[in-house]
Amino acid sequence: MQNSSLISQRAKALKPSLTLEISAKAKALIQEGKDICSLSAGEPDFNTPGFIIDASIKALKDGITRYGPAAGDPELREAIALKQTQINQVPTNIDNVLVTNGGKQAIFNLFQVILNPGDEVLLPSPYWLSYPEIVYLAGANPIIIKGNPENGFKLDMKKLETSVTQKTRLLILNSPNNPTGIVMSLKELQDIADFLRRHPKILIMSDEIYELLIAEGQTHYSFGAIAPDLIDRVFTVNGFAKGWAMTGWRVGYLIGQTDVIKKAIALQSQSTSNVCSFAQRGALAALQGSKDCVKKMVKSYNFRRDLITKGLIEMEGVSITKPQGAFYAFPKIEKGNTTSVDFCKLALDKVGLAMVPGIAFGEDNCVRVSCSVSENTIIDGLQRLKKLISIVN
């Protein structure tokens, strides 16, 4: 039974996820026994490192199974503050840290606390697909700063400047980027800091969830470290999902100015309460333990990212800005007048290849492919894509 009068205006405005539509179709085809190659993964293909799992099992056995502080396990908050201070070079203490149910809840809580209805949020494209929806849920409006695949999706500072209005409240930054894998340079970040200095009412959210997954020779700069004078306006989102292969654990965090963090804690205490107590002990072990497991995963992503990029560069009808981080590539495809959604549907129907349509990230000329799959799957996927392009053109 369908009855739209049951649904609030807010929920009516929510868009269903395009990625889910494609992956549901891919799953249905696999169940029918079809030969499907999926490059649509949005998560690590590694298992969570054993010592992290052991720490959580120990926590369960030790009785860490009850409600905890809404703001997070104090030891974990302390460890996050220490990491942010020592490794990211941003002086941080426990009052600046909120442990959240994944990076996603950090973003949701932040937007609920700092955005008013009608506020405008500057969002460079391509962007992670949940940002616009979480902005809308706070009653605000995303203002897309359209990126251009021809110039490597460099943020156009002039466009950014001319998009500012009296209503502008926040700028969203995501480096390393999902879906492009682009890592912003120090100079680009410094230019953004100068932009913020010219606009004292604008806050910034820096989503650094892929910080550990970068190519050799790349450096990740935490935005707070390059602009210490702006620290009260910088909100950092991070988490354990990507770097530590802990997507299902749901542990992330928000770092920022204490009044905002206090309100975000209040919001969390009245909605979800604390993040799963024993999962937080696993996250604590991740921060305190050896980083060798992360290095191993990074090495493997780097190899596979290079493999997929090389294959795409050599393919006719494809151009690409070389990804330097995360585990995605975002090639531009010559596909005539076909939309990226139709192209991805065709890919499934004609060559059994699952990819994510670029329009989900605000760029219809591209598709997102993942290198968080085996080497053989990458090689197979590239062959299928080549065949599809020859069919379309």
Residues that bind ligand PLP (CB under 6 A): 42, 102-104, 128, 174, 178, 207, 209, 239, 241, 247, 252
**Nearest CB to ligand PLP, comparing residues 238 and 277:** 238
The C-alpha atoms of residue 311 and residue 315 are separated, in whole angstroms, by: 6
Nearest to 14 by CA among 132, 120, 154: 132
Q: Please state the closest distance from residue 19 (CB atom) to ligand PLP, in A.
A: 10
Q: Please state the closest distance from residue 104 (CB atom) to ligand PLP, in A.
A: 3
Q: Please state the closest distance from residue 165 (CB atom) to ligand PLP, in A.
A: 26
Q: Please state the closest distance from residue 102 (CB atom) to ligand PLP, in A.
A: 3
The C-alpha atoms of residue 370 and residue 41 are separated, in whole angstroms, by: 6
**Nearest CB to ligand PLP, comparing residues 308 and 351:** 308
For residues 185, 186, 190, 193, the Cα torsion angle rounded to the nearest 10 degrees is 80
Could you tell me the two tokens for 210? 């892929």
Phi, psi of 356 (to 5 degrees): -105, 125
Residue nearest to ligand PLP (CB): 102
Q: Please state the closest distance from residue 328 (CB atom) to ligand PLP, in A.
A: 9
Q: Please state the closest distance from residue 197 (CB atom) to ligand PLP, in A.
A: 26
**Cβ neighbours for 28, distance < 8 A, ≥ 6 positions apart:** none
Neighbouring CB atoms inside 10 A of 152's CB total: 12
**Nearest CB to ligand PLP, comparing residues 370 and 377:** 370
Q: Quick check: helix, strand or coil at residue 174?
A: strand
Q: Please state the closest distance from residue 5 (CB atom) to ligand PLP, in A.
A: 32
**Nearest CB to ligand PLP, comparing residues 130 and 383:** 130
**Nearest CB to ligand PLP, comparing residues 178 and 277:** 178
The C-alpha atoms of residue 311 and residue 382 are separated, in whole angstroms, by: 7
**Nearest CB to ligand PLP, comparing residues 133 and 380:** 133
The C-alpha atoms of residue 164 and residue 143 are separated, in whole angstroms, by: 9
**Nearest CB to ligand PLP, comparing residues 244 and 343:** 244
**Cβ neighbours for 119, distance < 8 A, ≥ 6 positions apart:** 138, 139, 140, 141, 167, 168, 169, 170
Could you tell me the two tokens for 120? 């405008």
